[in-house]
Structure 1
Amino acid sequence: MKPFEYIPRDRGVHPPAYTPGYKTSVARSPRLPLLSLQNSLSEITGPTFGQGDLGPLDNDLIRNYAKTGDPVGERIVVHGRVLDENGRGVPHTLVEVWQANAGGRYRHVKDTYFAPIDPNFGGCGRVLTDEQGFYHFRTIKPGAYPWRNGVNDWRPAHIHVSVFGQAFVQRLITQMYFEGDPLIPRCPIAATIPDPKALERLIAPLDLNAAIPLDCLAYKFDIVLRGTRSTLFENRLEGN
């Protein structure tokens, strides 16, 4: 069987691994150039996820951890499509999300920010794309939080997004930001992206057409897996 050749990603849009303005990159950046390896047959024919692997509330972060009521914060819907390089929807793809709560704190033992833990918000969810590649989930808009990079550096509000392909080795990870957030141009991590258009593809625009009146706003975030307009994935900086 002739291997399928993907349209190559434009590597010029990716941030360099070594960016002193983002302090932890100094210690973590590789000393040698990264390599792209072709997947073997065993890697591309691994187990896939099905609806039976998901619970009924997995894509509803407002309700899937609630104990005594709804979580605190601005209710939102995030929706979009997972697309290939030709604009075709990618069906049956597992999209996972995790995020801080409305106060900017993660439910994680190593998060020591003094914003309170919300007892009704877990901050994790997942959903499978449908036959046309569409996905959606409900959640609380995350808050910004400080981090020990500079004297007063803050992360913009963001949601972490993971996309699985046909096997675990095909996992891609990125972050979704929100339109109009004034912290985006001030974020040292976002500043490592040399191409402004690549950064724009990580910013979800407000979508009032998908908002639920008197309930929640909506943001649209399409994920393009490959090609010159692909989404920037933080664990695939070497390209496809």
Structure 2
Amino acid sequence: MTEYTYDVTDVAASAGPTPSQTVGPFFHMALPYDAGPAVVGPERPGALTLHGYVYDGEGAGVPDALVEVWQADEEGAFCGTPGVYEEPDATGFRGFGRSATDEHGHYAFTTVRPGAVPTTDGAAQAPHLAMSVFARGMLRRVVTRVYFAPDDADPLLAAVDEDRRATLLATRDEGGYRFDVRLQGPDETVFLDVFAR
């Protein structure tokens, strides 16, 4: 048997790691959801539009991102069984919405301002909704919260550096609220590490 050897010392020292690879994007065709961006129907009292843009690190809109939101209703109650899609209740509240961004990176949802939800230990959380963004070049989705007003009593919001809190606050505009997501850069949105174990 012939033994072959190859000295990789010089190659290994200079090569460095291989680049990351991603698959997709498949967001617009692979994840259809009949209700789309309608967390509630447009006729629901108190219905509003939550919209904004998803920006990359250069400040350009991301045209092929997928944005998902899930939230409590106006009374702070969640709909259905966690992790299981169920048809909306009689009020038309779904608690979940999915919106693909357009060619400019814009998304929009029809929703309501959620009520306060207690933490597991009973502390009050400020009204907010959870948001996930899936986009090209990202191996994992990013997750953030959208708050409708600053509230120092909210445990998570209070834990964020004061100069970064604005990245979690929606701003009032005609017909609803605007919330832009910045994936990178100096004004990067605060993202939550929901994958930590």
Tell me how many residue pairs correspond in the alignment: 174
The residue type equivalent to 1:45 in the other structure is: V
Shift of 1:86: 1.9
Seen in structure 2, the aligned counterparts of structure 1 residues 47 and 129 have a Cα distance that, compared at 3 Å, is: closer
> Secondary structure of the equivalent of 1:81?
strand
> Secondary structure of the equivalent of 2:193?
coil
Task: Spell out, residue by residue over 1:138-163, the C-alpha distance to the aligned partner (whole angstroms, 9 max, x if none).
Answer: 011110122333xx620111011000
User: Which sections of structure 1, spanning at least 5 residues, go unmatched?
Assistant: 1-36, 65-69, 111-116, 212-217
**Mapped contact 1:177–1:204 kept (Cα < 8 A):** yes
Is residue 78 of structure 2 the alignment partner of residue 106 of structure 1? yes
Structure having greater relative contact order (Cα 8 Å, sep ≥ 6) = 1
Is residue 110 of structure 2 the alignment partner of residue 138 of structure 1? yes
Which residue does 1:59 correspond to in 2? 37
Seen in structure 2, the aligned counterparts of structure 1 residues 78 and 39 have a Cα distance that, compared at 3 Å, is: farther
Shift of 1:101: 0.7
> Secondary structure of the equivalent of 1:155?
coil
Is residue 149 of structure 2 the alignment partner of residue 191 of structure 1? no
How many Å separate the matches in 2 of 1:125 and 1:98? 7
Which residue does 1:113 correspond to in 2? none
How many Å separate the matches in 1 of 2:99 and 2:52? 12
Is residue 192 of structure 2 the alignment partner of residue 234 of structure 1? yes
**Mapped contact 1:48–1:166 kept (Cα < 8 A):** no
Which protein shows a greater Rg? 2
How many Å separate the matches in 2 of 1:190 and 1:103? 20
How many Å separate the matches in 1 of 2:39 and 2:18? 36
User: Which residues in structure 2 correspond to 1:64-83 (within 5 Å)?
Assistant: 71=44, 74-83=46-55
Which residue does 1:129 correspond to in 2? 101
Sequence identity, in percent? 32
Seen in structure 2, the aligned counterparts of structure 1 residues 85 and 141 have a Cα distance that, compared at 3 Å, is: same
Which residue does 2:173 correspond to in 1? 207
User: Which residues in structure 2 correspond to 1:29-68 (within 5 Å)?
Assistant: 40-41=20-21, 44-51=22-29, 53-55=31-33, 57-63=35-41
Shift of 1:99: 0.2
User: Which sections of structure 2, spanning at least 5 residues, go unmatched?
Assistant: 1-16, 83-88
Structure 1 runs of 4+ aligned residues shifted over 6 Å read none
Which residue does 1:7 correspond to in 2? none
* Alignment TM-score, normalising by the size of structure 1: 0.64
Which residue does 2:132 correspond to in 1? 162
Which residue does 1:89 correspond to in 2? 61
The residue type equivalent to 1:177 in the other structure is: Y
* Alignment TM-score, normalising by the size of structure 2: 0.77
